[in-house]
Amino acid sequence: MFNFFKKKDKKEDKITEEKLHAIVDGEAISIESVPDAVFSQKMMGDGFAVKPTDSSIYSPVEGIISNVFPTKHAIGITTKGGLEILVHIGIDTVELDGKPFETTVSEGDTVTPSTVISVTNFNQLKESGKDSTVIVIVTNMDKVEHVDISKLGSVKHSDEIGTVTLK
Protein backbone atom coordinates (compact mmCIF):
# COMPACT_ATOMS: atom_id res chain seq x y z
CA MET A 1 0.00 0.00 0.00
CA PHE A 2 2.61 2.57 1.05
CA ASN A 3 6.25 2.44 0.07
CA PHE A 4 7.65 4.58 2.86
CA PHE A 5 10.21 2.03 3.97
CA LYS A 6 11.08 0.56 0.61
CA LYS A 7 14.63 1.35 -0.49
CA LYS A 8 14.99 3.18 -3.75
CA ASP A 9 17.04 1.47 -6.41
CA LYS A 10 20.06 3.74 -6.86
CA LYS A 11 20.54 2.56 -10.46
CA GLU A 12 17.29 4.32 -11.44
CA ASP A 13 18.91 7.69 -10.72
CA LYS A 14 22.22 6.90 -12.43
CA ILE A 15 22.95 9.04 -15.47
CA THR A 16 24.01 6.82 -18.36
CA GLU A 17 24.44 9.37 -21.14
CA GLU A 18 25.61 12.99 -21.38
CA LYS A 19 25.08 15.27 -24.38
CA LEU A 20 27.94 17.27 -25.89
CA HIS A 21 27.28 20.65 -27.51
CA ALA A 22 29.24 22.90 -29.84
CA ILE A 23 31.19 25.41 -27.79
CA VAL A 24 31.58 28.13 -30.40
CA ASP A 25 30.31 28.96 -33.89
CA GLY A 26 32.66 27.47 -36.46
CA GLU A 27 33.73 24.18 -38.00
CA ALA A 28 33.57 21.11 -35.77
CA ILE A 29 36.41 18.66 -36.41
CA SER A 30 37.30 15.24 -35.04
CA ILE A 31 39.74 15.08 -32.16
CA GLU A 32 42.10 13.16 -34.46
CA SER A 33 42.28 16.25 -36.74
CA VAL A 34 43.61 18.60 -34.03
CA PRO A 35 47.14 19.73 -34.98
CA ASP A 36 48.68 18.71 -31.64
CA ALA A 37 49.55 15.08 -30.85
CA VAL A 38 48.60 15.41 -27.17
CA PHE A 39 45.00 15.93 -28.27
CA SER A 40 44.84 14.07 -31.61
CA GLN A 41 46.30 10.89 -30.10
CA LYS A 42 43.82 11.17 -27.20
CA MET A 43 46.55 11.26 -24.55
CA MET A 44 44.31 13.41 -22.33
CA GLY A 45 41.03 11.77 -23.37
CA ASP A 46 38.47 11.71 -26.17
CA GLY A 47 36.35 14.55 -27.49
CA PHE A 48 36.08 17.00 -30.38
CA ALA A 49 37.27 20.43 -31.45
CA VAL A 50 35.95 23.52 -33.24
CA LYS A 51 37.80 25.95 -35.46
CA PRO A 52 36.08 29.14 -34.26
CA THR A 53 34.45 31.92 -36.26
CA ASP A 54 33.24 33.84 -33.18
CA SER A 55 34.87 35.03 -29.95
CA SER A 56 32.31 33.70 -27.43
CA ILE A 57 33.04 30.23 -26.01
CA TYR A 58 30.09 28.37 -24.44
CA SER A 59 29.93 25.39 -22.11
CA PRO A 60 29.74 22.07 -23.99
CA VAL A 61 27.68 20.46 -21.19
CA GLU A 62 25.42 21.11 -18.22
CA GLY A 63 27.57 21.09 -15.12
CA ILE A 64 29.61 22.99 -12.56
CA ILE A 65 32.86 24.85 -13.18
CA SER A 66 35.48 22.79 -11.36
CA ASN A 67 38.62 24.61 -12.47
CA VAL A 68 39.57 27.88 -14.13
CA PHE A 69 43.24 27.81 -15.05
CA PRO A 70 45.17 30.93 -13.90
CA THR A 71 46.28 31.51 -17.51
CA LYS A 72 42.59 31.47 -18.59
CA HIS A 73 43.31 29.20 -21.58
CA ALA A 74 41.48 26.20 -20.09
CA ILE A 75 38.37 25.57 -18.00
CA GLY A 76 37.27 22.36 -16.26
CA ILE A 77 33.61 21.37 -15.94
CA THR A 78 32.08 18.44 -14.01
CA THR A 79 28.66 17.09 -15.03
CA LYS A 80 25.95 15.54 -12.83
CA GLY A 81 26.93 12.16 -14.24
CA GLY A 82 30.51 12.68 -13.07
CA LEU A 83 32.15 13.44 -16.42
CA GLU A 84 35.17 15.70 -16.18
CA ILE A 85 35.36 17.96 -19.22
CA LEU A 86 38.30 20.15 -20.18
CA VAL A 87 37.74 23.09 -22.54
CA HIS A 88 41.14 24.07 -23.96
CA ILE A 89 41.24 27.30 -26.00
CA GLY A 90 43.89 27.17 -28.70
CA ILE A 91 47.14 25.23 -28.88
CA ASP A 92 50.19 26.17 -26.79
CA THR A 93 48.20 29.15 -25.50
CA VAL A 94 49.34 28.64 -21.91
CA GLU A 95 52.42 30.60 -23.03
CA LEU A 96 50.28 33.74 -23.56
CA ASP A 97 49.72 34.14 -19.80
CA GLY A 98 45.99 34.85 -20.17
CA LYS A 99 46.27 37.93 -22.38
CA PRO A 100 43.77 37.08 -25.17
CA PHE A 101 41.23 35.48 -22.79
CA GLU A 102 38.41 36.94 -20.70
CA THR A 103 36.95 34.23 -18.47
CA THR A 104 33.29 34.88 -17.61
CA VAL A 105 32.80 32.12 -15.00
CA SER A 106 34.27 31.17 -11.64
CA GLU A 107 34.81 27.86 -9.87
CA GLY A 108 31.50 26.60 -8.48
CA ASP A 109 29.31 28.31 -11.11
CA THR A 110 26.54 26.23 -12.71
CA VAL A 111 26.69 26.26 -16.51
CA THR A 112 24.60 25.05 -19.46
CA PRO A 113 25.30 25.00 -23.21
CA SER A 114 23.86 28.53 -23.36
CA THR A 115 26.38 29.89 -20.81
CA VAL A 116 29.33 31.91 -22.15
CA ILE A 117 32.40 30.70 -20.25
CA SER A 118 35.07 32.74 -22.05
CA VAL A 119 35.48 35.50 -24.62
CA THR A 120 38.67 35.15 -26.63
CA ASN A 121 40.44 37.66 -28.86
CA PHE A 122 41.32 35.22 -31.65
CA ASN A 123 43.04 37.96 -33.69
CA GLN A 124 45.50 38.51 -30.82
CA LEU A 125 45.93 34.76 -30.49
CA LYS A 126 46.74 34.40 -34.21
CA GLU A 127 49.10 37.40 -34.11
CA SER A 128 50.99 35.50 -31.41
CA GLY A 129 51.39 32.60 -33.85
CA LYS A 130 49.03 30.27 -31.97
CA ASP A 131 46.44 27.92 -33.46
CA SER A 132 42.91 28.96 -32.46
CA THR A 133 41.28 25.51 -32.37
CA VAL A 134 39.05 25.13 -29.28
CA ILE A 135 39.19 21.60 -27.89
CA VAL A 136 36.74 19.69 -25.67
CA ILE A 137 38.16 16.63 -23.89
CA VAL A 138 36.54 14.06 -21.58
CA THR A 139 39.45 13.56 -19.19
CA ASN A 140 38.13 10.73 -17.00
CA MET A 141 37.78 8.09 -19.70
CA ASP A 142 37.77 5.33 -17.05
CA LYS A 143 34.08 6.22 -16.50
CA VAL A 144 33.24 6.26 -20.21
CA GLU A 145 31.91 3.42 -22.33
CA HIS A 146 31.84 5.35 -25.61
CA VAL A 147 32.15 8.88 -27.06
CA ASP A 148 30.03 9.42 -30.18
CA ILE A 149 30.56 12.63 -32.15
CA SER A 150 27.74 12.66 -34.69
CA LYS A 151 27.97 16.17 -36.16
CA LEU A 152 31.09 17.60 -37.78
CA GLY A 153 31.37 20.55 -40.15
CA SER A 154 29.58 23.88 -39.74
CA VAL A 155 28.10 24.33 -36.24
CA LYS A 156 26.53 27.04 -34.12
CA HIS A 157 27.21 27.23 -30.39
CA SER A 158 24.90 25.00 -28.38
CA ASP A 159 24.19 22.63 -31.33
CA GLU A 160 24.12 19.07 -30.03
CA ILE A 161 27.02 17.33 -31.70
CA GLY A 162 27.48 14.11 -29.76
CA THR A 163 26.96 11.96 -26.70
CA VAL A 164 29.05 10.26 -24.07
CA THR A 165 27.83 6.89 -22.81
CA LEU A 166 28.89 6.23 -19.23
CA LYS A 167 29.89 2.84 -17.79
Give tens-digit pLDDT for 133-164: 999 999 999 999 999 999 999 999 999 999 99
CATH number of the domain where residue 118 is located: 2.70.70.10
- Cβ atoms of 44 and 139 within 8 Å: the answer is yes
On whether residue 54 sits in a domain, the answer given is: yes
Annotated active-site residue in 21, 73, 88, 157: 88
- Quote the number of domains for the chain: 1
For 167, the enclosing helix (H) or strand (E) is none
Q: Would you say the pTM of this structure is higher than 0.85?
A: yes
- Cβ atoms of 131 and 82 within 8 Å: the answer is no
What pLDDT is stored for residue 4 in this prediction? 53
**Residue-number span of the structural domain to which 87 is assigned:** 26-166
For the chain, percent of residues with pLDDT exceeding 90: 86
88 is catalytic: yes
pLDDT confidence of 15, banded at 50, 70, 90? confident
pLDDT per position as a tens digit, 41-69: 999 999 999 999 999 999 999 999 999 99
On whether residue 118 sits in a domain, the answer given is: yes
Task: Give CA–CA dist 53/69, Å, rounded.
Answer: 23
Q: What is the mean pLDDT of the chain?
A: 93
On whether residue 106 sits in a domain, the answer given is: yes
On whether residue 44 sits in a domain, the answer given is: yes
What pLDDT is stored for residue 36 in this prediction? 95
pLDDT confidence of 2, banded at 50, 70, 90? low
- Cβ atoms of 155 and 25 within 8 Å: the answer is yes
What stretches of 9-167 show up as alpha helix (H) in DSSP? 10-13, 37-40, 122-127
What pLDDT is stored for residue 135 in this prediction? 98
